[in-house]
Structure 1
Amino acid sequence: MTSIAYLNGEYLPLDEARVSVLDRGFLFADGIYEVSAVLDGHLVDNQSHLARFERSLGEIFLPLPAPMSRVEEIEKELITRNGVKEGVVYMQVTRGVAPRDFHFPENVKPTLLMFTQAKTIIDSPTAKSGIKAKTLEDIRWARRDIKSIALLAQVLAKQAAHEAGCQEAWMVEDGFVTEGGSSSVFIITKNNVLVTRPNSHALLPGCTRKAILALAAEKNIRVEERPFTVAEALDAAEAFFTSASAFVTPVVTIDDQAIGDGTPGPTTKRLREIYIDFARASR
Structure 2
Amino acid sequence: MTSDLPDFSQGVAFVEGRYVPAREAKLSILDWGFTRSDVTYDVAHVRDGGFFRLDDHLDRFERSLAACRLSPPHDRGAIAGILDRCVGLSGLRDAYVAMVCTRGRPRVFGSRRPADCDNLFTAYAIPWIDVIPPDVQARGAHLYVASVPRVAPASIDPTVKNYHWGDLTRGLFEAHDAGADTAVLLDSEGFVTEGPGFNVFIVRNGEVLTPDRGALEGITRRSVLDLCALTGVPARIAPLRHEDLLQADEMFCTTTAGGVMPVARVDSHIMSNDAPGPVSLRLKQLYWQKHAEGWHRTEVNYAAAGTMPAV
Q: Give the TM-score taking structure 1 as reference length.
A: 0.92
Aligned twin of 1:239: 251
Give the conservation status (yes or no) of the 8 Å contact 1:170–1:178: yes
Q: 1:84-137 deviations in whole A, cap 9, x for unaligned?
A: 12231122110111134443133x43111211221266x922332211111113
Aligned twin of 1:140: 151
Aligned partners of 2:182 and 2:112: how far apart in 1?
Answer: 33
1:161 pairs with 2:175: yes
Aligned twin of 1:194: 208
Query: Structure 2 residue aligned with 1:221, among 233, 238, 241?
Result: 233
Aligned twin of 1:81: 89
Shift of the alpha carbon at 1:15? Answer: 3.2
Query: Structure 1 residue aligned with 2:23, among 15, 26, 41?
Result: 15
Query: Structure 1 residue aligned with 2:125, among 96, 116, 130?
Result: 116
Aligned partners of 2:11 and 2:128: how far apart in 1?
Answer: 14
Aligned twin of 2:198: 183
1:32 pairs with 2:11: no
Aligned partners of 1:50 and 1:109: how far apart in 2?
Answer: 21
Shift of the alpha carbon at 1:175? Answer: 2.4
Query: Structure 2 residue aligned with 1:46, among 54, 61, 65?
Result: 54
1:257 pairs with 2:269: yes
1:55 pairs with 2:69: no
Q: Percent identity?
A: 27
CA RMSD of aligned residues (A): 1.8
Structure 1 regions of 5+ residues with no counterpart?
none
Aligned twin of 1:128: 138
Q: 1:171-192 deviations in whole A, cap 9, x for unaligned?
A: 1122221111211100000x20
Give the conservation status (yes or no) of the 8 Å contact 1:176–1:228: yes
Between 1:148-157 and 1:53-62, the stretch displaced more is 148-157
Aligned partners of 1:248 and 1:6: how far apart in 2?
Answer: 29
Larger Rg: 2
Aligned partners of 2:27 and 2:196: how far apart in 1?
Answer: 27
Q: 1:230-278 deviations in whole A, cap 9, x for unaligned?
A: 1121111100010000100001111143123211011101111111123
Give the conservation status (yes or no) of the 8 Å contact 2:49–2:94: yes
Number of residue pairs matched? 278
Q: Secondary structure at the match of 1:93?
A: strand
Give the conservation status (yes or no) of the 8 Å contact 1:45–1:279: no
Q: Which amino acid aligns with 1:228?
A: L
Q: Give the TM-score taking structure 2 as reference length.
A: 0.84
